[in-house]
């Protein structure tokens, strides 16, 4: 036969479990290291990322499209209220 006994199968199962949990442990440690490196880089770069600017939108009375209130341009429709 194959020469596999209950003892050999048990040792094989234990070795597979050790390798499996070893890989999980290494991945967990690497994820922690990566997050710490990102935190250190974020702190060295500055306390907060730059805030994005926000603009108000206004609805065009002719076509219904929303355009920025400051710097709105003509949408191309006749009688557009936003100039030429």
pLDDT tens-digit series, residues 44-55 = 887 565 566 778
Q: Which stretches within the chain are classed as H helix?
A: 6-45
Q: Are residues 30 and 20 in the same domain?
A: yes
Same domain, 38 and 1: yes
Question: Are 36 and 60 part of one and the same domain?
Answer: no
* pLDDT cut 90: percent of the chain above it: 35
* pLDDT value at 2 more than 90: no
pLDDT band at 24 (very low <50, low <70, confident <90, very high): very high
Name every residue whose Cβ is closer than 8 Å to that of residue 84 and which is 6 or more positions away in sequence: 74
Q: What pLDDT score does 59 carry?
A: 81
CB atoms within 10 A of CB 68: 11
**Same domain? 2 vs 35:** yes
Question: What's the number of domains the chain is made of?
Answer: 2
């Amino acid at each position: 036969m194959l020469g596999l006994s209950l003892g050999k199968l048990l040792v094989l199962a234990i070795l597979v479990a050790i390798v499996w949990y070893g890989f999980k442990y290494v991945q967990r440690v690497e994820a922690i290291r990566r997050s710490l490196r990102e935190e250190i880089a974020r702190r060295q770069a500055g306390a907060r990322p730059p805030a994005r600017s926000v603009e108000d939108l206004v609805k065009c009375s002719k076509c219904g499209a929303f355009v920025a209130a400051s710097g709105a341009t003509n949408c191309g429709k006749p009688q557009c209220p936003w100039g030429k």
